[in-house]
A and B are shown apart, each in its own frame.
Chain A
């Protein structure tokens, strides 16, 4: 038993080192001031760089749009499949794996081909800005993660009974979904939204192949070429941003979960 315990500590320590060393090294590097000593110059330069900031906003805009579209597609579909076509669950599951199985570079090459060879006003409008061009593809990339997150959330609640109870009390299908099911799977939905956000803030392959230079991940890489310190500072800052968002999600989801907890006695004592 003690042996197993010691091994656990060793493995944990190694894993911690593996994660922490690059982070600490990056932090140290990003805090180096030009001409020796330490300072926050690299960080203040992020705030002063209009290109970086606008890239961040572009990516956040794409992320929010993507998350909204993905959830509008995934939540009703997952509910529908579970209620009406349970036999289709397996088909849908393998379909949602496709975007993971197909490398982004293949998808990007396909999109580039379409972009280059198909004309017409619709296509031109679609590829006019990075937001309208990338959002549909990021939706496809995010689908598998979002579907899984939402479906797991649905598996944890007595979906059919809740929907039937709501309908029995006079609610239509949409009302049942919005008033009863959505609040019950709130943390799963937030998780799906967060995964989408993280995906968009890190996606570089498609954006690069389609030659959109104004998204955040591209800007980070471009900055790195001229100012390594700023680029690293930026990476850390975006990591921090992601963490803050994750914390926010788990805080909001956690408050819900606490009220959904099956054993209330544990938490009841806290005022």
Chain B
């Protein structure tokens, strides 16, 4: 690939995609309410939120399948708000079943090039190259129904990349796949995205997916942006209570001097891994549930300040369900 890889920091002011005060109203509902968002060139931005938060609406507006009620959308500095979908130069990967059923994998990948009047030989070469890139070099002649769900999504990815779009749009492309394939393909998408240096908007409702692959995560709720930041910051310093609840698990506890103190006026938010189970000076509680997650065991403990979720390193001697223990903020 010829794309030059630029680090997002280098081109921080160079917005590849921009939403400027974009709203979309369906009847009484404001699916998007004045969205302002800029994607830097070459970055992968995850648009994260619960279903109905407006993330898919934003994606469809960017692809040109829908028009905003107000506001403006720019791709590479050009206002595309009124440009039809077929002229937007975006590459989209849908949730599932988007491959053309009567065309082979190679014909699917070559379709966009055909629409751009690329010659037959060149189309074939490029399609083969892209199928190779997504690890399906030998399946060019297969029809979509002959491919597994994961393979179909790889072909869809190859098809979207074939036309060298200025933006790659991913609409929950992993949600129809089983867990193992999902993680594998997720990492592969990230690898390809970095290799091609393509600006990508990744819509997902799965916070672990967003945190794992994105350069930045944008959390959307009820049509409004809650926070846009690198995954580490979104996780460690959630800007709003909604982000805290939605990204990972968060305990809200009353504190005094950095320790959990029942009745204290001040409250703070603590991640499960920041709670110490069996602390000598801890708050007493009873284990309600215990879930073995491999390296850690997740305990839900009932205390006088409410139910707390704590992740303890798996080891012999952890309290079992129904047993008494203590819990405190570690460190």
Contacts and interface: CB of A to CB of B under 8 A. Distances in A.
Q: Tell me whether A and B are bound partners.
A: yes
Interface of A: 157-158, 161-162, 164-172, 175, 179-180, 183-184, 186, 256, 259-262, 264
Interface of B: 63-65, 84-88, 90-92, 94-95, 97-103, 111-112, 115-116, 143, 145-146, 159-160, 163
B102 A186 contact: yes
The 3 A-B pairs at the shortest CB distance, nearest first, are namely: A170-B115, A169-B112, A183-B102
Given A171-B86, A261-B145, A262-B145, A165 B116 contact: no
Given A259-B143, A260-B145, A264-B146, A165 B98 contact: yes
Given A166-B100, A168-B88, A168-B91, 19 more contacts: A157-B101, A162-B100, A164-B65, A164-B94, A167-B65, A167-B86, A168-B92, A168-B160, A169-B86, A169-B112, A169-B159, A169-B163, A184-B100, A259-B102, A260-B143, A261-B145, A262-B145, A264-B143, A264-B146
B291 to A, nearest CB: 37
A157 B99 CA distance: 11
Contacts of B101: 157, 184, 260
Contacts of B94: 161, 164-165
B122 to A, nearest CB: 16
29 contacts: A161-B94, A161-B95, A162-B98, A162-B100, A164-B65, A164-B92, A164-B94, A164-B98, A165-B92, A165-B99, A167-B86, A168-B88, A168-B160, A169-B91, A169-B111, A169-B112, A169-B115, A170-B86, A170-B87, A170-B116, A172-B86, A175-B115, A179-B111, A183-B103, A184-B101, A259-B102, A260-B101, A260-B145, A264-B143
B148 to A, nearest CB: 11
A180 B97 CA distance: 13
B142 to A, nearest CB: 9
B56 to A, nearest CB: 12
A161 B98 contact: yes
Contacts of A170: 86-87, 112, 115-116, 163
Nearest to A158: B97
A164 B97 CA distance: 12
A183 B108 CA distance: 13
B102 A158 contact: no
Contacts of A168: 63, 85-86, 88, 90-92, 160
